Amino acid sequence: MRFIAGEMSIAKDITKMSRKKTLHFSLLDPDKQKPKVAGEIASAVEEAGSSAIMVGGSTIVSQKQVDETVKAIKEQSNLPVILFPSGAKFLSEYADAVFFMSLLNSRNLDYVIREHVKGALFVKQSGIEPIPMGYVIVEPGMTAGRVGEVDLIKKDDVENAVGYALASQYLGMDFFYLEAGSGSPTPVSNKMITAVKNSINIPLIVGGGIRDANTAREKAKAGADVVVTGTKLEEEKNLKKALIDIIKSIKNRNI
């Protein structure tokens, strides 16, 4: 399904839905499984109630890898596919949208703006929907922190996180993503999530190290509008059941 500019957009749709309940997004890294398996996972996450599939990672080697993964996902699910690219080379015309995200605490301007300049025309010509997003990485940051050459936000530096979030909103970003890094042993703290949530009015996405229903509920209660899980999808044998638990727990964030 492709949303038509000027009518409903994926960004508007997500924003609207997130005002009613905390959403769950599934992150699939094309480098972590074959396209066929990505398709099977996509089907399971849709059945479990996830709202979108993000496709991206820090170690992807080719656009072909992204294209094949996105195509396999689209064959097996009707969820919107949103690219989560680490660079302009990893865009795919087969996706519905792209997080046009600036890695604001990177020391390398490539991740802040230069890759965006390289990829902008592709986005326009392919018709995928760009979704402006401020993206910051908090300790420990994991591979994304290293590859992205990031000045990590210290775990307890709430004020700095709030500054980045407000700056994102003032720059006109539609979303703000607080990331601890895929596979992180510790997610972003509840205190940081609440402080950021209370200072902005764009939707707050939180990811990195969220693997079980209790943690997901805590993050939703703290103020996450969208909870992202990635590693869990690769590890879990009984994926659908595990995700149903997570998605139920964030919907009932007030319990």
Establish if 182 lies at the interface with ligand 1GP (CB under 6 A). yes
CA dihedral 28, 29, 31, 34 (to 10 degrees): 10
Rounded Cα–Cα distance for residues 205 and 225 (Å): 6
Q: How far is the CB of 236 from ligand 1GP (least distance, A)?
A: 11
- 133 DSSP 8-state letter: E
Establish if 229 lies at the interface with ligand 1GP (CB under 6 A). yes
Report how far apart, in Å, the C-alpha atoms of 81 and of each of 23, 30, 104, 203, 212 are: 15, 13, 23, 18, 23
Interacting residues with ligand 1GP between 19 and 58 (CB under 6 A): 27
Segments in 101-199 forming alpha helices (H): 109, 115-126, 142-147, 158-170, 190-199
Residue closer to ligand 1GP, measured from CB, 197 or 232:
232
Establish if 189 lies at the interface with ligand 1GP (CB under 6 A). no
Of the residues 15, 183, 245, 248, which one makes contact with ligand 1GP according to CB under 6 A: 183
User: In whole angstroms, how large is the CA radius of gyration of the chain?
Assistant: 16
Rounded Cα–Cα distance for residues 233 and 159 (Å): 32
Residue closer to ligand 1GP, measured from CB, 138 or 158:
138
Q: How far is the CB of 217 from ligand 1GP (least distance, A)?
A: 15
Segment interacting with ligand 1GP (CB under 6 A) among 11-19, 93-101, 178-186, 190-198: 178-186
Residue closer to ligand 1GP, measured from CB, 123 or 144:
144
Residues that bind ligand 1GP (CB under 6 A): 27, 179, 182-184, 207-210, 228-232
